[in-house]
Structure 1
Amino acid sequence: MGSDERKPLLSINDDNSQDVTPKESFSDKFKGFIKKSMTKETVSILIYVVLYIVSGVINGVLLKKLMIKFVNYGFFLSQLTNYGYLPIFLGAMWYKMYCTNDVPKETRDFPQYKFVIMGLLDAVNGFFVVIGGISTSGSLQQLLNQAIIPFTMIASFIFLKERYSLIQLGGATVILSGVVIALIPSLVGGSSGGNILFYNFFYLISVIPGALSNVYKDIAFKSIDMDVWYLQFWDCLYQSLFGSILFPINNWLPPPATIKFTAILPAMKDGALCLGGKNSILPIYNGTSSVLAFGSCGINDNYVCDDCHNTWVIVLIYMTINIAYNIFILLVLKHAGATVYSIANTVILPLTNIFFSIKFIMGAATSPFSGLSVAGLLVILFGLGGYRVGSMTKKPPPETPKDSEETIGGSNKNNLAVSGEITPIQPKNQIYLRNQFFGRLGIDVPESRYRVANINNN
């Protein structure tokens, strides 16, 4: 018997044996996919998105806390949120104009009347938001904000001849249904969180000038690559000037926003004192007892006492977070695009509502979840999802020569994954970013234009 006959049948040294490679498990495949996906660009996008969501939630909570602090000085707060940013935008614009080449002559020669119209629309929008928001709970504010989508669609249909798919129309209808459901507690008089029905609708009306502003921005700036800081300064300037002359409206508003013509200057003075932390409207007690006297503040929700402690700290934190929030808007739009931005906005909505329901954060202004508020939130989220799906599946119009000239990049670059490889997300071009910035609330205005504008990336 030869040596070959004595070799074990399953010997690993058998020349006829075959190497059997273990089958790759699902976990190994998943780890490999993650490793390929986690490029430097992708990690940066994830960081931008997370920071955008976090800053968006904090921004919404701080704005409501400011409204609580200035409950008796809503007009002063509207002026503060306008004029407070002027020095920042002025400094940024000056640097851009005199230390960089980002503001060419074409931009400087842009007609001022267009900034005036935009500032007027934004001033009216901001006035309704602040005055109405003081007597609208934070959670309800977040739900009412979503009405900007169907109202912008209507404005785009009328002025821009934009057409929408059935899925988008269905999503917008569902969003409006969710808004109505969210308003039911106020309509039947069982609302909580400081809601007053008149001011709930006052806040809701703000979406009309907001939608018109979105559409006008698309009309006015579609032919020029406008520098963001240059735009922000002039918009803020005219918004502040128009906002200053809206005070007569307060003369006819019900409490707590009532300001008679003769009381506007004292109210502004008391608002400034509140900013510094000093209370002007204090409770009045009967003698030495702890019983509030007739006519004292704190007896009902329409006439509350001042609580201005550390107001200036909240203002500084809010302005800082708000600037960071707007920067992350640009970063997400530039590096991730409309789809990721829309998803992030959808995530912000329920997260913010959760924070508004935490008493440790909101104190007396806590908005506890009710059956109708949860139902309204779920319906709106469902409508937002339908609208986003319709936006992504809608076919853009055929590319025209004009579109080709406007598109930056020169050649058509295919960003689709090939053979299972993960292609890094490309930064968006300037025209796409500009159009998306004007739709910073997540509105596609008009969607077909910016989608075509981004066919070719940088």
Structure 2
Amino acid sequence: MGQDEKKSLLANQDGGQDDVEISSGEGKKKSLRDYIPKLSKESITILIYVVLYITCGVINSVLLKQVMNTFSNYGFFLNQLTNFGYIPIFGVAVAYKMFFTNDIPKETRQFPLYKFLIMGALDAVTGYFVVIGGISTSGPLQQLLNQAIIPITMLVSFFILKERYSWIQLVGAVVIVGGVVTSLIPSLTGGGNSGNKPFWNFFYLISIIPYAFSNVYKDIGFKAVDDMDVWYLQYWDCVFQSIIGTILFPINAALPPPATIPFNSIGPSLKNGSLCLAGHNNILATDSTCGPLTTDPMPCDNCHNAWIIILVYMTINVIYNVFILLVIKYAGATVFSIANTLRLPLTNIVFSLKFIMGKQVVPFSGLSIAGLIIILGGLTTYRVGSTIKAKKAGATEQVRFIPGMGPAGVEGIVPIRKKFIEPKSQEHLRKQFFGKLGINIPEDRYNKAHINDA
């Protein structure tokens, strides 16, 4: 590290003595600079990454709900749009890497496609429940329900991966479940005016189940991969996610309004969704087909600037996932977990600000605040337990992460555990080389065993 990086952020560049002198009480004087923590260039960079990650995460969550509100009558179209929309983005990146760089070697391209298919299928089901259920689930409640991913993933990992957890982690998971239940009480009792509907809230919550299976499958299917290119992974995930998402349309025929789409109406619904994307309203109050006075209440179209909203959302979503990579790579899993914990209350605060959300503002209720506090307590407890467990296992394993764009902006961060391989010494490598040449060198039993194995 250079000398400049060791200087205080408020250091005088001209070497002057303009600092405020503060008496230490022992006859010595200290400058104000001595009381300010000295940050290295690397620390400042990490801090910037974390702040930008939290900021983009909050904006990403708010924009996702804005998109859902805009396409409230075209949930299936929105699901397909968010699936197919990323294919050209990742396709261009993969094509560039394959033709102009060596980032995607032959070994990566030979990776079994059926593993991407399984991952894409699980993400497609997750995205379907997220988008369809999220339309009638308020933004703050979405953020709280998303935290159920921790206890559900723990449960799936317990049975499939035989993963075992500390009692601190288990207490944290139970507290998180209690916070989720508390958050659902206003919706179940009909309180509040947030627009939450119990059926769709549980429909959204169900998305956590295939998402948890997707996380566990990534732990299994990609464990042997040392350096899977993220863009290549995302491209195939989006391709298969889009294909599987398309064949899910029969489910809409059995769903209640506003998601009901009979088989013979799939084509017109996709057409109207496209018109909405272009800014054209199809369902209007003047036609007496929407609004609170109709037999089956459904929202009227509000497609003004829809294409701008979806474009901004998808752009922010890509940037957001880039910062996920940067925070994990340079700050580590612990800092990433802390940033996620901080992001939760900040996102819910933004949803309650009228000057930002306008008519879509969702005021905090007492139970919503209680649910948020309980979940934050559970998240903190769980992550403290995870940190303690990781330190105890640090001598034998490390935690690697495979980032995933996931459906509808739901990022997939999956721990992949790989045992450390003790590096071989230069002496061992030299003896191994001579052994392969048939040159006998006196050596101890340990090194001889390694040469014979080679």
Tell me the TM-score normalised to structure 1 length: 0.81
Q: 1:399 deviation in Å?
A: 5.0
RMSD of aligned Cα (Å): 2.4
| Equivalent residue, structure 2, for 1:254 | 256
1:351-382 alpha-carbon deviations (Å, 9 max, x no partner):
11011111222233221100000000000000
1:349 maps onto 2:310 in alignment? no
Q: 1:191 deviation in Å?
A: 3.7
Among 293, 301, 315, the alignment partner of 1:299 is: 293
1:394-442 alpha-carbon deviations (Å, 9 max, x no partner):
1444756xx6xxx8xxxxxxxxxxxxxxxxxxxxxxxx55446699858
3-state DSSP of counterpart to 2:313:
helix
3-state DSSP of counterpart to 2:270:
helix
Q: What is the 5 A alignment of 1:322-361?
A: 322-361=317-356
Q: What is the 5 A alignment of 1:407-426?
A: none
Residue identity opposite 2:28 in structure 1: K
Q: 1:96 deviation in Å?
A: 1.4
| Equivalent residue, structure 1, for 2:170 | 169
Deviating above 3 A after TM superposition, structure 1's stretches of 4 or more consecutive aligned residues are 20-29, 295-298, 395-400, 432-446, 452-456
1:29 to 1:255, Cα distance in 2 relative to 1, 3 A: same
| Cα separation, 2, equivalents of 1:352 and 1:144 | 13
| Cα separation, 1, equivalents of 2:379 and 2:34 | 33
Query: Does the CA contact (< 8 Å) of 1:283 and 1:298 recur in 2?
Result: no
1:313 to 1:453, Cα distance in 2 relative to 1, 3 A: farther
Q: 1:247 deviation in Å?
A: 0.8
| Cα separation, 2, equivalents of 1:278 and 1:169 | 50
3-state DSSP of counterpart to 1:97:
helix
1:277 to 1:444, Cα distance in 2 relative to 1, 3 A: closer
1:443 to 1:102, Cα distance in 2 relative to 1, 3 A: closer
Name the one with the larger strand percent. Answer: 2
| Cα separation, 2, equivalents of 1:134 and 1:61 | 13
| Equivalent residue, structure 2, for 1:109 | 110
Per mean C-alpha deviation after superposition, the further-off stretch among 383-392 and 433-442 is 433-442
| Equivalent residue, structure 1, for 2:311 | 316
1:205 maps onto 2:206 in alignment? yes
1:69 maps onto 2:70 in alignment? yes
| Cα separation, 2, equivalents of 1:64 and 1:42 | 33
1:441 to 1:178, Cα distance in 2 relative to 1, 3 A: farther
| Cα separation, 1, equivalents of 2:298 and 2:403 | 42
| Cα separation, 2, equivalents of 1:296 and 1:201 | 24
| Cα separation, 1, equivalents of 2:404 and 2:261 | 36
Query: Does the CA contact (< 8 Å) of 1:127 and 1:243 recur in 2?
Result: yes
Q: 1:391 deviation in Å?
A: 0.7
1:312 to 1:21, Cα distance in 2 relative to 1, 3 A: same
| Cα separation, 2, equivalents of 1:88 and 1:194 | 34
| Cα separation, 2, equivalents of 1:131 and 1:272 | 17
| Cα separation, 2, equivalents of 1:223 and 1:183 | 40
| Cα separation, 1, equivalents of 2:63 and 2:76 | 18
Q: 1:298 deviation in Å?
A: 4.7
1:445 to 1:115, Cα distance in 2 relative to 1, 3 A: same
Query: Does the CA contact (< 8 Å) of 2:401 and 2:415 recur in 1?
Result: no
| Cα separation, 2, equivalents of 1:398 and 1:363 | 48
1:45 to 1:443, Cα distance in 2 relative to 1, 3 A: same
5+ long unaligned stretches in structure 2 = 1-24, 424-454
1:172 to 1:162, Cα distance in 2 relative to 1, 3 A: same
Residue identity opposite 2:324 in structure 1: I
1:160 to 1:364, Cα distance in 2 relative to 1, 3 A: same
1:192 to 1:94, Cα distance in 2 relative to 1, 3 A: same
1:296 to 1:123, Cα distance in 2 relative to 1, 3 A: closer
| Cα separation, 1, equivalents of 2:282 and 2:422 | 58
| Cα separation, 2, equivalents of 1:275 and 1:194 | 23
| Equivalent residue, structure 1, for 2:387 | 392
1:134-175 alpha-carbon deviations (Å, 9 max, x no partner):
000000000000000011111111111111100000001000
Among 17, 35, 38, the alignment partner of 1:30 is: 35
3-state DSSP of counterpart to 2:285:
coil
Q: What is the 5 A alignment of 1:100-139?
A: 100-139=101-140
1:377 to 1:455, Cα distance in 2 relative to 1, 3 A: farther
3-state DSSP of counterpart to 1:372:
helix
| Equivalent residue, structure 2, for 1:6 | none
Q: 1:267 deviation in Å?
A: 0.6
| Equivalent residue, structure 2, for 1:89 | 90
1:444 to 1:121, Cα distance in 2 relative to 1, 3 A: closer
Q: What is the 5 A alignment of 1:228-247?
A: 228-247=230-249
| Cα separation, 2, equivalents of 1:454 and 1:144 | 39
| Cα separation, 2, equivalents of 1:441 and 1:192 | 29
1:383 maps onto 2:378 in alignment? yes
| Cα separation, 1, equivalents of 2:249 and 2:371 | 33
| Cα separation, 1, equivalents of 2:361 and 2:113 | 43
Among 284, 287, 291, the alignment partner of 2:286 is: 284
Residue identity opposite 1:321 in structure 2: I
Residue identity opposite 1:230 in structure 2: Y
Residue identity opposite 2:96 in structure 1: Y
Per mean C-alpha deviation after superposition, the further-off stretch among 38-47 and 363-372 is 363-372
| Cα separation, 1, equivalents of 2:290 and 2:384 | 53
Query: Does the CA contact (< 8 Å) of 2:404 and 2:412 recur in 1?
Result: no
| Cα separation, 1, equivalents of 2:194 and 2:121 | 31
Tell me the TM-score normalised to structure 2 length: 0.82
Residue identity opposite 1:365 in structure 2: Q
| Equivalent residue, structure 1, for 2:439 | none
Q: 1:55 deviation in Å?
A: 0.3
Q: 1:27 deviation in Å?
A: 5.7
Q: 1:28 deviation in Å?
A: 5.3
Q: 1:284 deviation in Å?
A: 2.5
Identity rate of aligned residues, in percent?
62
Q: How many residues align?
A: 393
1:311 to 1:115, Cα distance in 2 relative to 1, 3 A: same
| Cα separation, 2, equivalents of 1:184 and 1:283 | 32
| Equivalent residue, structure 1, for 2:179 | 178
Query: Does the CA contact (< 8 Å) of 1:170 and 1:383 recur in 2?
Result: yes
3-state DSSP of counterpart to 1:284:
helix
